[in-house]
Structure 1
């Protein structure tokens, strides 16, 4: 007995269902069929029972599709770990932990004394209104890092200066000031400078004088001394860290030679303080010294405040007022504020409150010619030359609290750009002052509050492409004169004429001697 075909055994309705199911079971390139997708979608709807199942049908279907497209972890291989993530997590872990007893001590200190720790979260919110966003997570980490810095050192002032970007790592910069008499490192540096240098024993010049080569008379120019801690370019101390949570490193004080060398070069930071600075002209120091020099230059050129916020201290004498070397100022308790509209309209409502760095590399000029004269007095035969030398003119820069309207332009480009943070709601906007000379330097101000911050690469704007300066002209090895200059050889005729002239002169001299002897004999007779 032969078997009947399926199509004849099934009912027409069952056959339609069978064909429809076979159609739905057809898999696409990904290996998933529409039947499986609809089954999973209905199973999820029945398990979750959303209130609006029809409206969320398309969203649930898309989520299932994306879930299938994401490859899951390979069960046969161990998942790849990123060591950089664990390294950062280990560094930042210390920011959110406290030791035993630290909570009670911090509460007592907060009740008894005022902390120099700035409110960085409020600062980040204020800066964000001006268009700069540090990010909420990074703001919290930097605030906790500053707290660790304040707890570790006896500080009376602490401020978040900004962020210096680098090719391999960035620098978070903190500007601090120690309590009076508690900066041990500054005192040690001052003691080392005061120590007299040990003189080398002089060798006997009489021994073997003929065999010694001639001594050079070249005397290098005297080195310009750096400004003392707490004054000029070294008024504040700066700590940096490559990442919030890592160890704070104190930058060394800056010298005039480093500032002048930084003015002639352009170099991006790498994120390594010990990296050598290979440039021309050569820079005297490592990346830590270059970073400190750029911080001093940026602070001197971009730290500004609204007119009237600061005033000169009354403790300064009349001599400082006459010479214009006033460097002490204080907050004006009677400051009533400057409207935001006036801050944007005119640069005369802004002033510099950091001393200008002179071409010498210092904020206060020092006469190096006087020091060189004292050294030359020990030598003989140079007093007349010193009297003939003209006196050097002292370098003078713009005084403190000079309006920004007096700043020089850069190739017909204004050095500053002022704007409102929002033109749609001007009554609640803040004034944003951006430096065109140092890109990345901003000052954000409300009528009675302002903030200076820098987030950039640490390079100055130049209208033309950078080209290193040409090397200096070679110095003369010896003075040129006829006694050491090489002459042309005389001809035979010139030599014979010279010889005849010398013989005639000798014969004339003998005749004169004979005549003088005869005259003496006549006188004796």
Structure 2
């Protein structure tokens, strides 16, 4: 049986006026550049283009069309570079391509499947799956808890009542729980907020917090992002009488610490070291609970369903130091804050200080919604530093969206400003009580020269100050106001965004308004953050002619000094002799 003829490649049709040539195409003089009749061919390019596989292994002078072989060193270097590239580990799985190919070829040679090229993708998946296969026991597989299952278990407690029943109960009594979903709806008009699922979980978490703590008012403050975990923050006010009990507990712990220090001081009185003349700056006490920067109490949790943790009260030293540093949150309240100047506390204290700063600068309300109560002694309060209490205005008439957006004077701050001292109300550290003053009158007379000049009282802007008085920075206003939509202005919502604290927003619609924060907890700075430099090193001793060592005189200076000294002595002796002769003459 005759074999079928081989298929011949199509022959090129010669152009008119030309005879077909049987010669091979001419090659260039440089054999490293093969001939290519394809359109767009440029001399100087090899068979591999940058976008084609194998381009990294190509070197000039060596290609399938060349008869020259590169040097041994260049070939060895190319192989080393290729192997080093294949040995790079993946940032996702931690594997490298070289080991993966070795395992694949080993598996193919050991099993020798038919048509291995058709199932090479399945072999690759099997090799990868074997790397991440969990350890097996002889009796049963190891139980693996998925993150989604763990999260669902934490959220499961939010949907159950205290007795385990899932049937809802009708609650007619007033509750401090706000309508978080309604607030989220208004912020959603401007594209601000969390997902509906997470917002509802936070809603249930706040309800669980209210059922456990004796809370009078509660509000979803916002969410601060962290490197490992985030913080969900609730702003609450305790019922009357509850704050006093907590303050007494804190005082007891402070007294016990002071007693321990006194006992240690008594033990150390036996061998007293030299006392230092350094006088530390006076300690500024923190504001009492329910006033100033500690007006509200804050609870935080990492995720809805996890237990709420109460943050400690903030101190002026923590606020002052927080203004000088900038640290990202980790999500762990017990994490140390490594910075300079050193922060007095851990991440829980730093978080509380940032919350106080953000609240003082971004908590705003429409003008006229709050008013000062009419009480006696208002003039005295204004002289002492302004009023710190306000109440809702029952006769408040809501402003239109256009009025809320056009002018910054339509919004006011309803949280006290924090002074440079770290308090909302200024405190004189050198002011002493009458008993202490009588005992230390004599000591003060001796130390008047050492005491610094009297500090000037700091006075910040009063409550309910309009936003038009906020200072901008580098031609950027402190606030940006805009409606939620320009297409349907009659149903728009007024939205304000803080430029000093990115992530702070406020909305107003009729008589409803609220503030919220979503961000990293950092204040915007147009320049890069520069850490504070350490203070200059203190001099060991005062410099002066009596202490500073003089340079040794030269030989000529020393000889001149001795000659002058001898002349002075001779002159003094002559004067003494003349005086003695005069005295003898007077006696005669």
Over 3 Å counting, the alpha-carbon distance change for 1:500 and 1:435 in structure 2 is same
Over 3 Å counting, the alpha-carbon distance change for 1:384 and 1:235 in structure 2 is closer
Give 1:268's match in structure 2, choosing from 321, 328, 336.
328
> Structure 1 residue 383 and structure 2 residue 444: aligned?
no
Asked if 1 retains the 8 angstrom alpha-carbon contact of 2:159 and 2:166, the reply is no
Q: Secondary structure at the match of 1:264?
A: coil
> Structure 1 residue 409 and structure 2 residue 475: aligned?
no
Asked if 1 retains the 8 angstrom alpha-carbon contact of 2:385 and 2:425, the reply is no
Give 2:404's match in structure 1, choosing from 339, 343, 362.
343
2:92 corresponds in structure 1 to none
Within 2, Cα distance between the matches of 1:192 and 1:203? 23
Asked if 2 retains the 8 angstrom alpha-carbon contact of 1:129 and 1:421, the reply is yes
Q: Secondary structure at the match of 1:185?
A: helix
Asked if 2 retains the 8 angstrom alpha-carbon contact of 1:130 and 1:431, the reply is no
Within 2, Cα distance between the matches of 1:121 and 1:203? 61
> Structure 1 residue 450 and structure 2 residue 539: aligned?
no
Structure 1 residues not aligned, in runs of 5+: 1-70
Within 1, Cα distance between the matches of 2:442 and 2:397? 60
> What is the root-mean-square deviation of aligned Cα atoms in Å?
3.7
1:40 corresponds in structure 2 to none
> Structure 1 residue 475 and structure 2 residue 535: aligned?
no
Q: Superposition pairs for residues 326-365 of structure 1, below 5 Å?
A: 326-365=387-426
Give 1:496's match in structure 2, choosing from 562, 569, 572.
562
Within 1, Cα distance between the matches of 2:567 and 2:293? 73
Give 1:185's match in structure 2, choosing from 235, 246, 264.
246
Within 2, Cα distance between the matches of 1:376 and 1:489? 51
Asked if 2 retains the 8 angstrom alpha-carbon contact of 1:303 and 1:353, the reply is yes
> Structure 1 residue 368 and structure 2 residue 433: aligned?
no
Q: Superposition pairs for residues 308-319 of structure 1, below 5 Å?
A: 308-315=368-375, 317=377, 318-319=379-380
Over 3 Å counting, the alpha-carbon distance change for 1:158 and 1:483 in structure 2 is same
Q: In terms of mean alpha carbon deviation, does 178-187 or 240-249 score higher?
A: 178-187
Q: Superposition pairs for residues 251-330 of structure 1, below 5 Å?
A: 251-315=311-375, 317=377, 318-330=379-391
Within 1, Cα distance between the matches of 2:513 and 2:504? 13
Q: In terms of mean alpha carbon deviation, does 274-283 or 447-456 score higher?
A: 274-283
Asked if 1 retains the 8 angstrom alpha-carbon contact of 2:372 and 2:390, the reply is yes
Count of residues paired in the alignment: 439
Q: In terms of mean alpha carbon deviation, does 373-382 or 250-259 score higher?
A: 373-382
- Cα distance, 1:130 vs. partner? 3.0
Q: Secondary structure at the match of 2:402?
A: helix
Bigger RCO (CA 8 Å, 6+ sep): 1
Give 2:208's match in structure 1, choosing from 127, 143, 148.
148
Asked if 2 retains the 8 angstrom alpha-carbon contact of 1:130 and 1:444, the reply is no
1:226 corresponds in structure 2 to 286
State the Cα deviation string for residues 129-185 of structure 1 (Å, max 9, x = none).
232232221122111111111111111111110111111111110001111221333
Q: Secondary structure at the match of 1:201?
A: helix
1:97 corresponds in structure 2 to 160
Asked if 2 retains the 8 angstrom alpha-carbon contact of 1:377 and 1:383, the reply is no
1:42 corresponds in structure 2 to none
1:396 corresponds in structure 2 to 459
TM-score for both structures, normalised by structure 2: 0.67
Q: In terms of mean alpha carbon deviation, does 196-205 or 259-268 score higher?
A: 196-205
Asked if 2 retains the 8 angstrom alpha-carbon contact of 1:171 and 1:243, the reply is yes
Over 3 Å counting, the alpha-carbon distance change for 1:178 and 1:380 in structure 2 is closer
Structure 2 residues not aligned, in runs of 5+: 1-124, 135-140
Q: Secondary structure at the match of 1:188?
A: helix
